[in-house]
């Protein structure tokens, strides 16, 4: 079953084409990483797929619903954890999770069950009573992703989930994402080759708004006759653009 199918998906800002005729197909349960240098068009792609920004041209079908003609149906099935961590700083970890569960209309028992599940999955049980503002960056990011999962989305978008995290916090977040694999479709954007390599089933490499290649790590290396994902990335026309 296909979770996401984009056709000629395009976004222009005045004379700038941020996303240029993207055709991509992502299966249900897949963890798909979008890799690209700054300005490649990753965030703009995610914004269109999450119905936060309308395409200039083209469309995307998410679980049977069009982002252009039926964005409400799409929004019911997806959630996004944005680049900026979105937590209520003065609420505790548990209160943040409870708040979201209540917003989605879960009953008292369902709230308790879901909150417990999220605290365990994201290793936040020990800090459940701590105010969000006292957490480390990595823990805040884990809480933010847990909050995005409360509504049981079928597709989760993670926009640079480990940006700015130290290596330990990054590994802890990877472990949490690993636990979700298979049960939910995840689209992840990242700058980090090792992150894409560690987590994803397939990788799409974007450059200047275009999708340059899609495949598993070994497929991308074979296609470019390289021995590492980083070399494949550079070989796919991104040389000189890397910051």
Ligand X SMILES: Nc1ncnc2c1ncn2[C@@H]1O[C@H](COP(=O)(O)OP(=O)(O)OP(=O)(O)O)[C@@H](O)[C@H]1O
The footprint of ligand X (CB under 6 A) covers 13, 16, 18, 36, 38-44
Q: What minimum distance in Å lies between the beta carbon of 173 and ligand X? A: 18
Q: What minimum distance in Å lies between the beta carbon of 158 and ligand X? A: 13
User: Cβ closer to ligand X: 37 or 198?
Assistant: 37
From 188, 133, 115, 108, select the one nearest 124 (Cα to Cα): 115
In the chain, the DSSP E strands lie at 2-13, 16-27, 31-35, 57-62, 65-66, 78-81, 155-159, 185-190, 202-207, 210-215
User: Cβ closer to ligand X: 33 or 93?
Assistant: 33
User: Cβ closer to ligand X: 98 or 195?
Assistant: 195
User: Cβ closer to ligand X: 45 or 151?
Assistant: 45
Orientation angle between helical segments 167-180 and 137-149, nearest 10 degrees: 20
Sheet of 2-13, strand order: 16-27, 2-13, 57-62, 65-66
Q: What minimum distance in Å lies between the beta carbon of 19 and ligand X? A: 7
Q: What minimum distance in Å lies between the beta carbon of 100 and ligand X? A: 25
DSSP 8-class letter at 212: E
Q: What minimum distance in Å lies between the beta carbon of 31 and ligand X? A: 18
Instruction: Tell me how far apart the alpha carbons of residues 40 and 214 are, in angstroms, rounded to a whole number.
Output: 15
CB within 8 A of 87, min separation 6: which ones?
Answer: 96, 132, 140, 143, 144, 147
Q: What minimum distance in Å lies between the beta carbon of 39 and ligand X? A: 4
User: Cβ closer to ligand X: 16 or 227?
Assistant: 16
User: Cβ closer to ligand X: 42 or 141?
Assistant: 42
User: Cβ closer to ligand X: 48 or 155?
Assistant: 48
Residue 62, beta-bridge partner list: 4, 65
Q: What minimum distance in Å lies between the beta carbon of 203 and ligand X? A: 14
In 52-184, the DSSP E strands lie at 57-62, 65-66, 78-81, 155-159
């Amino acid at each position: 079953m296909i979770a996401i199918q984009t056709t000629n998906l395009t976004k222009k800002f005045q004379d700038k084409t941020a996303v240029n005729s993207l055709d991509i197909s992502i299966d249900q349960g897949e963890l798909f990483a979008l890799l690209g240098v700054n300005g490649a068009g990753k965030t703009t792609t995610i914004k269109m797929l999450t119905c936060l920004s309308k395409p200039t041209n083209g469309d995307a079908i998410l679980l049977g619903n069009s982002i252009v003609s039926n964005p409400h149906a799409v929004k019911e099935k997806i959630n996004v954890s944005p680049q900026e961590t979105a937590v209520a700083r003065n609420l505790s970890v548990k209160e943040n999770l409870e708040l979201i569960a209540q917003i989605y209309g879960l009953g008292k028992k369902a709230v308790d069950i879901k909150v417990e599940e999220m605290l365990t999955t994201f290793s936040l049980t020990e800090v459940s009573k701590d105010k969000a503002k006292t957490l480390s960056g990595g823990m805040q990011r884990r809480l933010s992703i847990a909050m995005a999962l409360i509504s049981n989305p079928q597709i989760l978008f993670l926009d640079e989930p480990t940006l700015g995290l130290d290596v330990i916090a990054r590994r802890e977040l990877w472990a949490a994402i690993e636990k979700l694999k298979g049960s939910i479709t995840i689209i992840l954007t990242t700058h980090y080759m090792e992150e894409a390599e560690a987590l994803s089933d397939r990788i799409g490499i974007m450059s200047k708004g275009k999708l340059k290649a899609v495949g598993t790590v070994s497929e991308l290396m074979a296609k470019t006759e390289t021995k590492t994902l980083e070399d494949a990335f550079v070989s796919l026309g991104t040389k000189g653009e890397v910051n």
